[in-house]
Amino acid sequence: MPRALITGITGQDGLYLAELLLSKGYDVFGMVRGQNNPKIELVERTVPGVHIVAGDLTDLSSLMRALNTSRPDEVYNLGAISFVAYSWEQAALTSDVTAKGVLNILEAVRLYCGDDLSKVKFYQASSSEMFGKVQQVPQSEETLLWPRSPYGVAKVYGHYMTINYRESYGMHASSGLLFNHESPRRGPEFVTRKVSLAVAGIKLGLQGKIVMGNLDARRDWGFAGDYVDAMWRMLQQPEGGDYVVATGETHSIRDLLDHAFRAAEIEDWEPYVDQDPKFFRPAEVDLLIGDASRARDVLGWTPTVTFSELVAMMVESDLKALSDRIA
Ligand code: NDP
Ligand code: GDR
């Protein structure tokens, strides 16, 4: 039975990846930080069978302990401070976790492997945010990185450190340059879920309006369930590598609002949407659209959920959850 250790198990991707690996017969270990983390209950309920291990990406010895307990064949580093807007407010903490945390886990894996670095395959959750002020359209593995936030800068560090461990030590280390991916499990601070929750609330008469930031930014949005499959496929290759994972379609926040309100059968959304400068970012990433040809050709990966299906899935899920709550 293969064994996997996932950092960030309590997040959106951690849960989908754990489900996928369990379905493939893996013994799955999920690393959880903090004392009595309340999200342990979510993990136990959603993916029963996952073994919880304690650890924090800022604490190297805790990572060594997590590795010694789980004895993994594959390590998926999904843990991060991942909310871009928040990264300006806590830039140093973001750097400690999202940048230096990658070095800590790479170093822990290297020390754990000793003389046999082929023992563990490593996945780093890199991001389209690294393209920032994009230097090429669409963005591929070859596009120059130009991050626009402390989060983006931290991810660039983790990305190059992963490549460096592959090149320095011959480690099977892969970096997935994943574009935005969403689901009904997305945190409510991210724009898609903020919108799906608000639209459901407005439809049910629980909420009057939604207050947004920049409606002109464009993103390449896919379904998280598809994207964790790409992570797994990377680690099944004979060698580590870097792969863009994206749908190749881009939509504005306005398009997102259009689709979400339409999914709740509300045609004219303008009266329900306000804007507040507090949701605008000091530096914006205006346009993301990925070229995932390499993932398609080498990994045999393609997305299965369209943008409209994704938005409808999220609105329907929130409508159902909110209706159940008020019933
Ligand atoms: P989430 O924000 O949902 O999850 C982040 C996870 O990181 C949580 O489990 C969180 O734990 C954990 N974490 C935070 N701080 C630490 C720490 N100090 N030590 C260990 N774990 C920690 O993110 P997603 O699931 O959406 O994303 C997974 C990864 O992929 C992240 O690295 C993200 O940056 C990256 N990514 C995500 C994309 C997306 O569109 N979703 C696109 C590209 C990259 P806790 O619950 O305790 O806070
Ligand atoms: P992003 O996702 O920054 O792309 O990072 P987010 O959903 O937060 O923002 C997307 C775009 O929407 C605009 N926006 C708003 N965003 C939020 N959160 N709230 C609002 O009210 C709002 N109004 C407009 C933003 O300005 C932005 O342009 C996500 C995270 O998952 C990262 O961890 C990951 O690396 C990248 O996706 C790829």
The encoded tokens of residue 108 equal 């822990």
Q: Which atom of ligand 1 is the closest one to the Cα of 10?
A: 9
Counting beta carbons within 10 angstroms of the beta carbon of residue 141, is it exposed (0 to 12), middle (13 to 18) or buried (19 or more)? middle
Question: CA-to-CA distance for 101 and 47, rounded, in angstroms?
Answer: 25
Give the residue, by CA position, lying nearest to ligand 1 atom 1: 11
pLDDT number for residue 245? 99
pLDDT number for residue 297? 98
pLDDT number for residue 325? 95
The DSSP output letter for 180 is P
pLDDT number for residue 141? 98
Would you state the torsion angle of the CA atoms of residues 25, 37, 323, 193, taken in this order, to the nearest 10 degrees? -80
Going by C-beta distance under 8 Å and a sequence separation of 6 or more, which residues neighbour residue 239? 172
pLDDT number for residue 39? 97
Question: CA-to-CA distance for 214 and 161, rounded, in angstroms?
Answer: 32
**Ligand with minimal distance to 96 CA:** 1
Give the residue, by CA position, lying nearest to ligand 2 atom 26: 214
pTM: 0.98
Q: Is the peptide bond between 282 and the residue preceding it cis, with omega within 30 degrees of 0? A: no
Residues of the chain with pLDDT below 50 are: none
For residue 181, what is the enclosing H or E element? strand 181-182
Give the residue, by CA position, lying nearest to ligand 1 atom 2: 82
Give the residue, by CA position, lying nearest to ligand 2 atom 2: 190
CB 29 within 8 A of CB 72: yes
pLDDT number for residue 33? 98
Closest CA to 236 of 74, 27, 112: 74
- For the annotated catalytic residues, the residue numbers are 127, 129, 151
Going by C-beta distance under 8 Å and a sequence separation of 6 or more, which residues neighbour residue 262? none
pLDDT number for residue 163? 98
CA 178–ligand 1 middle distance (angstroms): 13
Question: CA-to-CA distance for 214 and 279, rounded, in angstroms?
Answer: 7
Phi, psi of 210 (to 5 degrees): -125, 135
Question: CA-to-CA distance for 27 and 18, rounded, in angstroms?
Answer: 9
Q: How far apart are the first and last CA of the chain?
A: 44
Question: CA-to-CA distance for 184 and 299, rounded, in angstroms?
Answer: 26
pLDDT number for residue 58? 98
CA 218–ligand 2 middle distance (angstroms): 10
Question: CA-to-CA distance for 312 and 189, rounded, in angstroms?
Answer: 19
**Ligand with minimal distance to 35 CA:** 1
CA 119–ligand 1 middle distance (angstroms): 25
Alpha helix (H) residue ranges in the chain = 12-23, 40-46, 60-70, 84-89, 91-94, 101-113, 150-169, 191-203, 224-235, 253-263, 293-294, 307-326
CA 102–ligand 2 middle distance (angstroms): 22
pLDDT number for residue 18? 98
CA 191–ligand 2 middle distance (angstroms): 5
List ligand 2's pocket residues with C-beta within 6 A. 82, 84-85, 127-129, 179-180, 189-191, 194, 212-214, 217, 219, 253, 279, 281, 284-285
Phi, psi of 29 (to 5 degrees): -115, 130
> Distances in Å between the alpha carbon of 140 and those of 35, 37, 48, 129, 311?
40, 37, 37, 13, 25
